[in-house]
Amino acid sequence: MSRLNEYREKLKSLDDWIPYLKQISGLPGPRGNLELAHAVAQEGKKKQFEHLLSIQAEENTPEVFLVFCGVMGLAKLAGHDPMLFDRLRGYASDPRWRIREALATGLQLVGDEDISLLMREMQKWSKGNWLEKRAAAAALAEPRLLKDPKVVSRVLLLFDTITSEMEAAPSPAEEAFKVLRQAMGYCWSVAVAAYPDEGQPMMEKWITSQNKDIQWVMKENLKKNRLVRMDANWVKDCLKRL
């Protein structure tokens, strides 16, 4: 039995999940227990997620793991209740980075069931603030969601639009912009590796940008092993041109 299934079975046997979740949350520490969070998202109900979301929690605490699970669970439910997307969008700008990660991870669960729905909603979010753009990009930059070339093509166009807006940013020093920049430093590589025929020329367009932030984004993507495995000579050529 996988660890995920072990956690799911354990949760089914408990009336009160919170002590158990806090005990093996992995926090404080460098990494929360993601397998456990996935189990909560799979087994939980909306009432339980709402309770977890109501908990006051600081970063890197067992309590923030509870909120993490609540966000992931609520995001999964959005696949069957799209009205929840408007509420979830607020978590894109949460000051706690773990909660922003919970949102992106939870949105990917929507994509597992209905990638068209996720794509439509992320198109809306990509028109929002820097952190909403970041949530949209991070949610879609997942290899398991990028199997259909038509989907990857739409994701590449979304990344292209976000990058264009970054290049024209009036205040690139603000923290929210830096968070987006960090995400875009890997998102391009995921989509390009999924559909090289379209992704490589689209990414090459940004290699010649004179904007330092865009140059940084492209360099970070070109460092990713997935691109080196895809086409080492192309990567080498792009790095020379930067």
* CA 198 – CA 196 distance, rounded (Å): 5
In terms of residue numbers, what domain contains 170?
115-242
Summarised one tens digit per residue, pLDDT across range 187-242 is 999 999 999 999 999 999 999 999 999 999 999 999 999 999 999 999 999 999 99
Burial class (CB in 10 A: 0-12, 13-18, 19+), 173: exposed
Q: How would you label 40-60 residue by residue, b for 16+ Cβ within 10 Å and e otherwise?
A: bbbbbeeebbeebbeeebeeb
Summarised one tens digit per residue, pLDDT across range 15-66 is 999 999 999 999 999 999 999 999 999 999 999 999 999 999 999 999 999 9
29: left (phi over 0), alpha (psi -120 to 50) or beta: left
Same domain, 184 and 232: yes
Q: Which of 67, 94, 113 is the last residue of a domain?
A: 113
How many domains does the structure of the chain reveal? Answer: 2
Give the per-residue pLDDT at 141: 98
Give the per-residue pLDDT at 173: 87
Q: Which of 47, 80, 113 is the last residue of a domain?
A: 113
Same domain, 166 and 139: yes
Same domain, 86 and 155: no
Q: Which of 89, 113, 137 is the last residue of a domain?
A: 113
Q: Are 25 and 62 in contact (CB under 8 A)?
A: yes
Same domain, 49 and 143: no
pTM above 0.75, yes or no: yes
